Amino acid sequence: MEHDTHPAVRNKTFISVWAILVALTMASVGASSVHAGTASLLVPLLIATVKASLVLWFFMHLKYERALFKVMLLFPLGTLAVIMGLTFVDTWFR
Amino acid sequence: MSTSVASHHSDYTGAKIGMWLFLFTEILLFGGLFLLYAVYRAKSPAEFHEATKHLHLALGLSNTLILLTSSLTAALSVSAIRRGQKYWALWGIGVTVVLALAFLVNKYFEWKEHIGNGMFPGSPALTSLSHGENLFFGLYYTMTGLHGVHVLAGAALLCVVYVFVNREKVNQHSYSLLENACLFWHLVDLIWIYLFPLFYLVT
């Protein structure tokens, strides 16, 4: 049977990632209480993207996977970015 | 003889690629809904701003913390099975399922209150509000509802995996099922990471 080449991820790594995720969640709550127009929209979404990347990279083991998995993920994300981009070009400039 | 050889055949990497491909379809499914939210929000920012005030930050925040913690216990269970620690793996899966149910209980009380206040799609209280607020609540029910179905499916899947680990069908040498179930669970967490700021935070 084929196995992962890397050893099991240490518990300490996962617990640290979890602590950072909780801290970022609190930071996004704090940031949203400051009413600063567009920034109060963008900052929580940027924080969410950092959190999502941490989940993908550590919890979903992407860090430890071969390049194939990392490249594969770029396809749905790229597709989504293109669809979002083109739709907004239409929404803004119609 | 030949059937027993065939039944032992497995492709670890292939199974994982298959799971990721399925997760991609999920990303695009929710991606379409996020796109809908983005366009409607861009068209009626003031109404979305008003509608956000109907939601309780404390409930959204506690559900976020519940899901983040459940992702941790799911990740720990995969490491545990790989070290051959069956009981730690079972503990991790069990806690994840309990947290999934806690999330749904929270969601139940949240929806119950909205519906009790007459804030459900097509209700007189909601249709008397602006078009933008109706769109917000439509998206809120659709997106958190579809996400809730995924939480339920993930919890059910983890229950099945729990039985398999307990019977040692999933073990130190063959743990694809647990790993892939946890990948699904992390995706459910990932989607909520975006739902939380969009519905509870961006005011």
Residues of B numbered 147-166 whose beta carbons fall under 8 angstroms of chain A's beta carbons: which are they? none
ipTM, two decimals, is 0.92
Please name the residue that has the structure tokens 């729990």: B162
pLDDT range class, residue B5, cuts 50, 70, 90: very low
| pLDDT digit string, tens, across residues B36-85 | 999 999 999 889 988 988 899 999 999 999 999 999 999 999 999 999 99
Q: What is the pLDDT of residue B8?
A: 53
Q: What is the pLDDT of residue B203?
A: 65
- Single-letter amino acid code for the residue at B71: S
Please name the residue that has the structure tokens 């005030």: B53
* Residue contact B82–A52, C-beta within 8 A: no
Q: What is the pLDDT of residue A93?
A: 87
B52 close to A33: Cβ distance less than 8 angstroms: no
A39 close to B170: Cβ distance less than 8 angstroms: no
Identify any residues that bridge with B174 across adjacent strands, giving them in sequence order: B171
What residues contact residue B36 under an 8 Å CB cut-off, 6+ apart? B139
Q: What average pLDDT does chain A have?
A: 90
pLDDT at A37 over 50: yes
In chain B, which residue's Cα lies nearest the Cα of A92?
B42
Please name the residue that has the structure tokens 């935070």: B201
Q: What b/e sequence results for B100-121 when a residue is b if at least 16 CB atoms lie within 10 Å of its CB, and e otherwise?
A: bebbeeebeebbeebeeeebee
- Chain B hits for A82, CB-CB cut-off 8 Å, are none
Q: In percent, how much of chain B has pLDDT > 90?
A: 82
What is the length of chain A? 94
- Single-letter amino acid code for the residue at B73: T
Highest mean pLDDT among A37-41, A90-94, B142-146: B142-146
Task: Give helix B57-82 / helix A11-33 axis angle, nearest 10°.
Answer: 170
Ordered structural domains, chain B, with CATH: 12-201 (1.20.120.80)
Measured CA angle at B141 (ends B151, B195), to 5 deg:
60
What residues contact residue B184 under an 8 Å CB cut-off, 6+ apart? B19, B22, B23, B153, B154, B157
- Chain B hits for A4, CB-CB cut-off 8 Å, are 12, 82
pLDDT range class, residue A3, cuts 50, 70, 90: low
Q: Suggest the residue from B9, B71, B198 to mutate for an interface test with chain A (most A CBs closer than 10 A).
A: B71
Q: Which long-range contacts (CB under 8 A, 24 or more apart) does A41-45 make?
A: A41/B202, A44/B197, A44/B201, A44/B202, A45/B194, A45/B197, A45/B198, A45/B202
